[in-house]
Amino acid sequence: MTILLQVEGLTKKFGGLTALSDVTFDLPEGQIMGLIGPNGAGKTTLFNVVNGVYPATKGKVIFKGKDVTNVKTYEMAQLGLARTHQIVKPLNELSVLDNVIVGACFGRQGFGLGKATPIAEEVLEFVDLADRSDQLASSLNIAQKKRLEMARALAAQPHLILMDEVLAGLNQSEITEMVETVRKIRDQGITIIMIEHVMEAVMKVSDHMIVLNFGAQIAEGTPEVIQSNPAVIEAYLGDPKLAQKLMQKAME
Ligand SMILES: Nc1ncnc2c1ncn2[C@@H]1O[C@H](COP(=O)(O)OP(=O)(O)O)[C@@H](O)[C@H]1O
Ligand SMILES: [Mg+2]
């Protein structure tokens, strides 16, 4: 089993606030890792630090065996890391196709339209948006915008995709379709970390899960293990005193 991503003792402070505290895990190639935790737990921050948006306060990120701690976002893209954003921000004035072409070119020097266009078309087919290629991105509904965000990430032909709440705001049938797309991406050999609040969906699709609370890793394991973990249940029930205790315990 090849380890694609190693996160070691990763800590991120914003002034006095510890958004990530000593987070450590190995992500095997080809797996879907579910990343859950209450609002403000540090999930998006973990993506931002792994992806080079924010420098780490402490700790290491190792991707494909190479220390990439604090490497810039576009260099991470070159190395094969892509992400989708919790708040989708397509280039509204561009067509759907052009948005994906931009995604294909990100982080790749000398990658012209000739190479980018067929990749973008193929990816739009893959996420079921091909029939909307010529529309302005601004005209898409939320589910379509989430698919576009996915297409932009896929167009960079990554080995690892960080997905931030791709199911948020979708209705039940859109969630089912998107989960199917996530599986299809994994079946192509792309490794995935998926931040998700839709518990049923993330439990169904994840090979392995990590739970964050107040920046600390309070649980890790298969969905079955996570589901019955009292620390996780308490974190979601929102008892701050107990959560505090668990956080301290997790950090011992
Ligand atoms: N750029 C930033 N500056 C200051 N505080 C931040 C910044 N980004 C995130 N935070 C804080 O870090 C904590 C974790 O946020 P975030 O990672 O967005 O949580 P999640 O994605 O789990 O909901 C929150 O308390 C948030 O307010
Ligand atoms: Mg978030």
Measured from the Cβ of residue 149, the count of other Cβ atoms closer than 10 Å reads 24
Whether 159 has a pLDDT exceeding 70, the answer reads: yes
CA–centroid distance, residue 211 to ligand 1 (Å): 16
The answer to whether the pTM exceeds 0.85 is yes
Confirm or reject: Cβ of 74 under 6 Å from ligand 1: no
Query: CATH classification of 1-73+160-252, choosing from 1.25.40.10, 3.40.720.10, 3.40.50.300, 3.30.450.20?
Result: 3.40.50.300
CA–centroid distance, residue 110 to ligand 2 (Å): 33
Residue nearest to atom 12 of ligand 1 (CA): 19
CA–centroid distance, residue 225 to ligand 1 (Å): 27
Which residues, including other chains, have CB under 8 Å from residue 110's CB and lie 6 or more apart? none
DSSP 50-98: HTTSS--SEEEEEETTEE-TT--HHHHHHHTEEEE-SS----TTSBHHH
Residue nearest to atom 26 of ligand 1 (CA): 40
CA–centroid distance, residue 46 to ligand 1 (Å): 9
Query: Per residue in 65-123, pLDDT tens?
Result: 999 999 999 999 999 999 999 888 899 999 999 999 999 988 777 788 889 999 999 99
Average pLDDT over residues 209-226: 93
CA–centroid distance, residue 216 to ligand 1 (Å): 13
Query: Residues within 5 Å of ion ligand 2 by Cβ?
Result: 43-44, 86
Residues forming beta bridges with residue 8, ordered by sequence position: 60
pLDDT confidence band for 251 (50 / 70 / 90): very low
- The bound ligand whose nearest atom lies closest to the alpha carbon of 48 is 1
What are the structure tokens assigned to 154, written together? Answer: 């896929």
Residue from 170, 155, 166 nearest 124 by CA: 155
Torsion, CA 223, CA 228, CA 231, CA 235, rounded to 10: 70
Confirm or reject: Cβ of 213 under 6 Å from ligand 1: no
Confirm or reject: Cβ of 146 under 6 Å from ligand 1: no
221-235 per-residue burial string, b: 16 or more CB within 10 A, e: under 16: eebeebeebebbebb
CA–centroid distance, residue 234 to ligand 2 (Å): 20
Q: Where are the domains of the chain?
A: 1-73+160-252, 81-157
Query: Per residue in 124-134, pLDDT tens?
Result: 999 999 999 99
- The bound ligand whose nearest atom lies closest to the alpha carbon of 168 is 2
CA distance 128 to 95: 15
Question: How high is the pLDDT of residue 238?
Answer: 60
Confirm or reject: Cβ of 103 under 6 Å from ligand 1: no
* Mean pLDDT over the full length of the chain: 91
Give CA separation, 169 vs 86, 88, 138, 143, 205, in Å: 11, 11, 17, 8, 18
What are the structure tokens assigned to 95, written together? Answer: 């067509």
CB contact at 8 A, 68 and 79: yes
